[in-house]
Amino acid sequence: MKNSEIKKIVKERYSQIAKKGTSCCPSCGPCDHNASEQAKRIGYSKEELGKIPKEAVMGLGCGNPTALADLREGETVLDLGAGAGIDVFLAANKVGPEGYVIGVDMTEEMIKKANKTAKKHGYKNVEFRFGEIEDLPVEDNSIDVIISNCVINLSTNKLRTYKEAYRVLKAGGRVLISDLVTEGELPEKIRRNFDAWAGCIAGALEKKKYIETIKKAGFRDVKIVSQNTYYEPGLKDILSGKITSVKIKAYKD
């Protein structure tokens, strides 16, 4: 499987999600729930969801990174793979008018949707930029906090992604990442399945290797702050006990 082919299928998948306004991504669970219910199931509270535009809630992700990022007023935040902007808008509420939140996504339809939502609801402290997380359209040493929600597993070059994160962070800056990792190696037929890539499964790294990748990029104090076993009904027999949802925190020297 070529990286270009994987990237193409992922972009197509999330372009369709942006157009539909909801997700059936395997990382979000069964599709018999609406987007708000899916969001609650992966860690967002009813109160949080009530304070952001409903258009930003699409049921994507595998956690709520803003809940554990300890965001403070006045901070500059970057969201890797922002999608329709759920975490960007949540972060914007926490950093306040003196803070600023940038969302980067490689799907043009998602960027258009998010910018439209921001304008409609009068957000002045957010910005959505088109780009890839392996080559961030962000200046060096300009970000206080980086968050990401079940997106880095989609990258075909995770080390480069974390090196980019390190580059744009200020000294002492931190990352709080929600992502999927594996317990042991996945079956080859899953690794080579395009739908499994787009569905946040096939690209997941083994947990120890994932942590080592973050450290190799230069980060210190890399810790898993919470984790839980991930369940995918459609692949129960193949993946039972093999996928874990983790929240990882790390710092730049």
Question: What is the Cα–Cα distance from 164 to 54, expressed in whole angstroms?
Answer: 31
212 CB-near residues (< 8 Å, 6+ apart):
none
For residue 20, the model assigns a pLDDT of: 74
> Which pair of tokens denotes residue 202?
């096939």
What CA–CA distance (Å, rounded) separates 156 from 184?
Answer: 19
- CATH superfamily of the domain spanning 3-251: Vaccinia Virus protein VP39 (3.40.50.150)
pLDDT of the chain, 253 residues: tens digit per residue = 667 777 777 778 878 888 776 554 444 444 445 788 888 888 899 999 999 999 999 888 888 999 999 999 999 999 999 999 999 999 999 999 999 999 999 999 999 999 999 999 999 999 999 999 999 999 999 999 999 999 999 898 999 999 999 999 999 999 999 999 988 877 666 666 545 555 557 678 899 999 999 999 999 999 999 998 765 555 555 565 688 899 999 999 8
CB 42 within 8 A of CB 26: no
- The confidence score (pLDDT) of residue 188 equals 65
Tokens read off for 138: 């962000």
